[in-house]
Structure 1
Amino acid sequence: MALLLSFRRWWCVVFVGLLLLPTIGLFTPDLPAPARMNNVVPNGWWVRAAEKLDPFINDNYGLRGTLMTGHAAYGRAFQVSRDRPVLIGRHERMFYTAEQTLDQTLGRVLRKPQLEQMVSVTARMREEVAKWGGKLVVAIPPNSQTIYGEDLPDWTERERRRPTEYDFIAEAMPKAGVPFVDMRPALTAAKSGGAVYFRTDTHWNRRGALIGFNAVMAAAGYPQLEVPEADALGPVFRMATGDLSRFLGETNPTGDTDYEWKPAMIKPDTLKPITGVMPASPPNDPFEPYAYETGHAGPRVLVVGDSFTQHFWPGLLAHGTSAFGWMHHRSCKFDFSAVERFKPNLLIYIPVERSMPCAGTPAHLDMAAGKAS
């Protein structure tokens, strides 16, 4: 009797073929997939090979795009995000859930000590900036679920509590004498005229960034720096899906939308870098600080923020200031000596809502305010 009957031989061929598919996929066309973060086999991979090679293999197996797209399609069909920090709501809007972001928006967490530290630090920042005649304004870009709460699943309505952390800060800042911009009303009202946040990304879009910018400038007493929407934004265009979509293993080159830039929102090529002011940062730092002279009259403005302002605001700032700069807030632990060197007329402290609470010990906070203990 033959070792394998003829019909079993065909099953053997099919089985071996399936095992070879990942290898075949290394040389055949594939569907688009999130960018590979590990493209080089690490040196000395044979030492603790499983630990060192796993990240490379996970980013470079065959038919990666096809498999990730299939998994994403399954997740979207059944609205499953598993252990990924993403919640899919109405209109397929995606919400970031890590860092207690959803609990924060719903009021299920209130980190009062860290919020009080933020109020204390910014109050001291206001006093320091006032020494050279400068002004501090604090603003908080809301989480997308704060602005698009109607797109959250129904169960979230039963979980809402008051006050939220944003409510707490909005009340505490003015009591401490710190000028504060509550961006929630302006962004919520603007939704009737078009999107203000991406559908598949944690960030606001260019229109949301413009509305936030104008709200800050109005509150700071610099209405001349406000930019009309007609001068800054063009038509809506299709763009690739964002960071939350990539969390789910999905990419789509036309899966989201934004607004075209107009000249008033484009960073000019004629800016002159200011050296020796911003703190040094490692080459791989995604939040590299910058400072520029514009070559024309206007106030000096320094932004201490995050990705909500890093690349959205340079063009807006360049057209009305004599000099401007940007650095990351580091959860209240940024280098305040850079502020003292830059000496802005206007200092804007603007962490996104999920990053409001200060992180670190009081000693860190002393250093953040330029008073190392």
Structure 2
Amino acid sequence: MILAPGVTELLRRGRASAVAESGMEGLPPLEAAPAAWVRVFNALRGGYLEKHFGLRGRLITWYNYVNAFLLKSSQDNNPVVMGRDRWLFLSQDGPDRNILEDFRTTRPLPEAKMRRVLDVLTARRDWCAARGIAYLVVVAPNKNTVYPEKLPEAFTRPAEDSHLDQLLRYLKDHAALDLVDLRPALAEAKKEHQVFYATDSHWNAHGAFAAYREIMRHVTPHFPNIRPFAPGDYTPVEYAGLPGDLAFLMGLQEYLPEPRVMYVNAAGGARARGTSYPASGHPGYFQPLVASEVPGPAGEGLPRAVFFHDSFFWELMPFLAEHFRFAVYAWMNPQTEMEPRHFDTELIERERADIVIEEFTERYFVPSARPLDKREQAAHPGN
């Protein structure tokens, strides 16, 4: 038994379970130069063997299968928990962000942290306004915010006033920001459709379309010639697809199949076309920039846009792209307690944007409720 993992690794018998994890890079190439040996040694010392021993993926799958299906065990220190009806929820996002603990805590947000968010967003709004550019902030709620009834029974929320409620109220009370809170639109759409995937942390096309409609309600006052799409303009189609990101995180993708949803344009096709865009080496970008355009006469008179976003935006993009002559989409690294998300003013000016839309997932938009540490206190004097 002790030798089984090593023997399996050597012989490569059986099919390994794919487990989505960070820090799973391979070893550097082994070469004759001493420096290459040092790199390999440092990789081994840095935890390579802990994540690459034989049968590791299969053992993780078995462990999560027993916990989720047999023991019905859910702990908020696990990266993913299984709730009612086999719904999966992201719980731990990195070492310092416990989503479900933040969801049910009664500790209020420190005003200093809310003030920091306010200062960052108002500075961006003012920068855009000085150049005649509209500025919109969109908050995509966490899955547990929209489907709290699917959480495990242990994860009840004792406080009705969530951290997102507190932050949005603070922003509205202290500044004239154009904020798009998508929760009401998703709650309404939820009455007719499932708006999040059960095995994924993201919304599906039903949820994205409801979000799109609410975003456009804030866009059209700036551009009255734009006509948002109605539900009848698309036909929802379900098709067999990959399980969601949370199933892969647990290594349970074989046991949790889930159909995907796609909205097909009932009018017979989309006008927007993807186009290449020069790469940027700025560390604030999580992925290379992409762009879309509506070519020819159909695009004449349409505005230009720059979108700063995260992973929730990909289901929105096909809908929004139809309304802009040219648009650039920048998937950003998330902001931290100390560092706001990058706001690329050079990109905005280069593209002559008429509107800038920033989309934030709730878990990256709302700061934690923990008290300020010494380093943060130094960054927020007087608090």
User: TM above 0.5, one fold?
Assistant: yes
Q: Paired residue for 1:38? A: 25
Structure 2 vs 1, CA of residues 116 and 69 (structure 1 numbering), >3 Å: closer, same or farther? same
Could you tell me which amino acid in structure 1 is paired with residue 25 of structure 2? N
Q: Distance in 2 between matches of 1:19 and 1:153?
A: 38
Shift in alpha-carbon separation, 1:306–1:233, aligned structure 2, 3 A = farther
For residues 48-89 of structure 1, the C-alpha deviation after alignment (integer angstroms, 9 at most, x for no partner) is 848617754455544455433322221112133565322221
1:155 & 1:350 partners in 2: Cα distance?
A: 31
CA distance in 2, matches of 1:95, 1:266: 35
Which structure would you say has the larger Rg?
A: 1
Q: Is the 8 A contact 2:273 2:292 kept in 1?
A: no
Q: CA deviation at 1:287?
A: 2.6
Residue in 2 aligned with 1:215?
214
* CA distance 1:141–1:363, change in 2 (3 Å): farther
SS in 1 for 2:253: coil
Instruction: Give the stretch that moved more between structures: 186-195 or 108-117.
Output: 108-117
Q: Which residue of 317, 321, 324 maps to 1:321?
A: 324
| Separation (CA, whole Å) in 2 of partners of 1:199 and 1:259 | 12
How far, CA to CA, are the matches of 2:241 and 2:37 in structure 1?
A: 38
Which residue, out of 162, 165, 184, partners 2:163?
165
Q: Please name the residue that 2:103 is paired with.
A: 105
Q: What is aligned with 1:191? A: 190
TM-aligned CA deviation for residue 292 of structure 1: 4.0
**Which residue is equivalent to 1:288?**
288
Counterpart of 1:28, as a letter, is: R
Q: Is the 8 A contact 1:268 1:315 kept in 2?
A: no
Distance 1:339 1:364 in 2: 28
Q: Greater shift after overlay, 266-275 or 217-226?
A: 266-275
In the superposition, the TM-score normalised over structure 1's length comes to: 0.78
Question: CA offsets, 1:112-141, max 9 Å, x none?
Answer: 322222122222222221223221121210
**RMSD across aligned C-alpha pairs, in angstroms?**
3.6
Instruction: Summarize the alignment of residues 184-333 of structure 1 with structure 2, pairs less than 5 Å apart.
Output: 184-221=183-220, 224=226, 226-252=228-254, 255-263=257-265, 270-275=273-278, 279-281=280-282, 286-295=286-295, 296-297=299-300, 298-309=302-313, 311-327=314-330, 328=332, 330-331=334-335, 332-333=340-341
* 2:3 match: 19
For 1:107 and 1:78, the matched residues in 2 are separated by 26
| Percent identity of equivalent pairs | 22
Instruction: Give secondary structure in 1 for the equivalent of 2:324.
Output: coil
In structure 2, the residue corresponding to 1:120 is in which secondary structure? helix
1:38 maps to a residue whose letter is E
More helix by share: 1
**TM-score normalised over the length of structure 2:** 0.76
TM-fit CA distance, 1:279? 4.5
In structure 2, relative to structure 1, the CA distance for the partners of 1:349 and 1:88 (3 Å cut) is same
Match in the other structure for 1:120: 119
C-alpha distance in structure 1 between counterparts of 2:20 and 2:230, whole Å: 36
Give the Cα–Cα distance (whole angstroms) in 1 for the partners of residues 134 and 378 of structure 2.
25
Deviation string, structure 1 residues 135-160 (Cα, Å, up to 9, x no partner): 11212100100000011223333x42
Q: Which moved more, 1:235-244 or 1:190-199?
A: 235-244
Shift of 1:272: 3.7
Q: Is the 8 A contact 1:232 1:262 kept in 2?
A: yes
Alpha-carbon shift at residue 324 of structure 1 (Å): 0.9
SS of 1:236's equivalent in the other structure is strand
Q: Distance in 2 between matches of 1:267 and 1:235?
A: 16
Conserved in 2, the CA contact under 8 Å of 1:274 and 1:293?
no
- Equivalenced residue count is 344
Task: Kindly report structure 1 stretches of 4+ aligned residues shifted beyond 6 Å.
Answer: 264-269, 358-365
* C-alpha distance in 2 between matches for 1:155 and 1:38: 36
- Asked if the contact 1:236/1:258 (under 8 Å) is kept, the reply is yes
Tell me what 1:29 maps to.
14
The separation in 1 between residues aligned to 2:354 and 2:194, in whole angstroms, is 32
Contact 2:28/2:40 (8 A) holds in 1: no
Counterpart Cα distance in 1 of 2:377 and 2:316: 31
AA of the residue aligned to 1:336: D
Query: Does the Cα contact within 8 Å between 2:114 and 2:170 map onto a contact in 1?
Result: no
Determine the structure 2 residue equivalent to 1:12.
none
Cα distance change, pair 248–216 in 1 and its aligned pair in 2 (3 A):
same
Q: 1:238-262: CA deviations, max 9, x gaps? A: 3322222233232228622320242
Please tell me the residue identity of whatever aligns with 1:91.
D
Alignment of 1:51-70 (within 5 A): 52=44, 55-70=47-62
Greater mean deviation of Cα atoms: 75-84 or 198-207: 75-84
Distance change in 2, residues 1:242/1:267 (3 Å): farther
1:183 shift after superposition: 0.8
**Inter-CA distance 22–154: structure 2 relative to 1 (3 Å threshold):** same
Query: Mapping of 1:137-156 within 5 angstroms?
Result: 137-156=136-155
